[in-house]
Every structure is written in C-alpha cells, then in structure tokens.
Amino acid sequence: MRVLETKKCILRAATMDDAKDLFECYKNDVTVKYLPFYKHRTIKDTNRFIRSFFLNNYKKGRIGHFVIVFKDANKVIGNIGFNNISSNSREGEIGICINPDYWGKNISNELALAIIKYGFEDLNLEKIIAITFEENKFSQKPLNDIGFIYTETFKRKSPKFTKGYINCYKYELTKDGYRFSLE
C-alpha cells in the first residue's frame, strides 16, 4: 500500500502504533453512528479492530483502508479507503471516518479527491460508489460537491437501529465523470 498525500493530510497503512489515536476516534458515539460497528470501549477493542480491519486485509492482499494523519498535529484522525471492490464490475465503495475533533477543518473534500484519484488511476476502477444513511447530511454534501450523482434510495439492514432497517442513499461517480470534472 502506497502513501498518499494531500495539502493537510497523509494517507498511509495502519500500524499497531496507531491504536491510541484510533481509539480516540472510535470511542465516540458520534463517530461510529453511521458505521457498521459499535463504539470501542477499551483500547483492546481498537487493537483487535486494527488487526482484523486493517492488518488482516493488508496480509490478504486486499486494498483496505488508509489511516488519515493530520499533518499539523501529526496525529491519526480516522481512516479512508474502499470498503468493497468488485473485480467483475471494477467498482469500489468508498468509506471514510474522521474524528469529530477534526470536522470543520475543510479536509473531507481533499481526502475524498485523493482516494478517488487513487481508485481511478492506480486501481483502474470504472466506478466509485458511496452509500450514506438518509439522515447523514454531512456526508452527502461533499459527495455532491465533488461530482457524485445520487442514483437511488434503498433500505439496509442495521442492527444498530431499533427499526432494524434504515434508508440509505447511493451515489456514483464514473471514471468518465471524474475525467470530465478535471477539465
């Protein structure tokens, strides 16, 4: 996994040394509200998560996620990458998680653009999709800003919500749409 760099952040492979910073991020109810896992209660939860979510995927040759290092603080503030990549359709689903202490620092768009460029140019994807929960307006605006197109609303099973299902929005960006946005 190579290192990517934006104006404010470095995206790199996770290590066990990132546990303290990632625990700060994942112990927060607000951070994990829209993620498929519950908040971490102890640093041991984060250590297990790093091994299973990051390191095991790296060992298996999967693309996985980068940790996000905020340059000004030299601190890991979350993760970004592809949750799923379909080799048949050459499409990937983008995922991002940022510590709320770093929200409002104008980094979402630059992080998304870096991972999109990586997806289209390095991984040769044809389409990148993003799934957001209907109520997660903070994730929808950057997607619209950088050229993603809303394609559908669907229900996704979620044990974290009392009704069991939640409305989700699907957004897509094609390689051609990406190229067009660069012109």
Cβ neighbours for 2, distance < 8 A, ≥ 6 positions apart? 122
Q: Which residues pair with 85 in a beta bridge?
A: 92
Quick one: pLDDT at residue 179? 73
Which residue from 8, 121, 141 is spatially nearest to 74, judged by alpha carbons?
A: 8
48 is in which domain, residue-wise? 4-182
Quick one: pLDDT at residue 174? 95
pLDDT in tens, the chain (183 residues): 799 999 999 999 999 999 999 999 999 988 888 787 889 999 999 999 999 989 988 887 777 799 999 999 999 999 999 988 877 889 999 999 999 999 888 898 899 999 999 999 999 999 999 999 888 888 888 898 889 999 999 998 776 665 678 889 999 999 998 876 655
In angstroms, rounded to a whole number, what is the distance separating the alpha carbons of residues 109 and 138?
A: 12
**Which pair of structure tokens corresponds to residue 114?**
């870096």
Angle formed at CA 67 by CA 174 and CA 41, multiple of 5 degrees? 120
In angstroms, rounded to a whole number, what is the distance separating the alpha carbons of residues 168 and 48?
A: 28
Number of domains, the chain: 1
Could you tell me the CATH number of the domain that includes residue 37? Answer: 3.40.630.30
Quick one: pLDDT at residue 164? 75
Question: Do strands 149-157 and 75-86 pair parallel, antiparallel, or not at all (unpaired)?
Answer: unpaired
